[in-house]
Amino acid sequence: MIAALGLLVGILLGLVFQPDVPLSLEPYLPIAVVAALDAVFGGLRAYLDGIFDDKVFVVSFLSNVFIAASIVYLGDQLGVGGQLTTGVIVVLGIRIFSNVAAIRRHLFHA
């Protein structure tokens, strides 16, 4: 409940203030969002499994976002940013899908 409230507050804050992202960070924002999405779904699944832990969630969230952005930044510096972005998206996408599948099993028992 408090998590959903936090999400709502965050979205509203973002929409109200509409902060300008520095141009140099702009390419890493989408990949950061996908990494965060992965951490959030992982946390939700852990919550439903009954093994949720605040510390693990926070650490996984921050490290996911940071590592994903770093990998893409490194790829940009090496000239393979597009390919590395694709690789990160694929891995995170698979994780998101399997986590969502587990969540679905919990919610609908199917």
Partner 1 sequence: MAEDRSLPEHVTTPLLSLITQQALEEDYRSVAERRLREGGAQERPPSRAVAAVVIAVFGILISVAAVQNSRNEEVETAGRTTLIARIGEARNDLEDRQARIADLTRENRQLTDSLAELGTVRVQAVSRLRGLQVVAGYFPAAGEGVRVVVNDNPIGDAVQRVTDADLAMLVDGLWEAGAEAIAINDQRLNPLGSIRNVGLAVHVNTVPLTPPYVVRAIGDTRTLQADLLNTTHGAQFFSLADQLGFEYSMDNVSELELPAARQRPLSSVESGTAEQRRDRGAEEEES
C-alpha–C-alpha distance, residues 98 and 45, integer Å:
10
**Is residue 46 near partner 1 by the rule CB under 8 A?**
yes
> In the bound complex, what is the minimum distance in angstroms from residue 31's beta carbon to partner 1?
10
Provide CB contacts within 8 A for 19, sequence distance 6+.
none
10 Å CB burial of residue 31 (0-12, 13-18, 19+) is: buried
> In the bound complex, what is the minimum distance in angstroms from residue 70's beta carbon to partner 1?
16
> In the bound complex, what is the minimum distance in angstroms from residue 75's beta carbon to partner 1?
19
Name which of residues 5 to 24 contact partner 1 (CB under 8 A). 5-15, 18-19, 21
CB 12 within 8 A of CB 66: no
Using CB under 8 A, which of the segments 67-75, 78-86, 89-97 binds partner 1?
A: 89-97
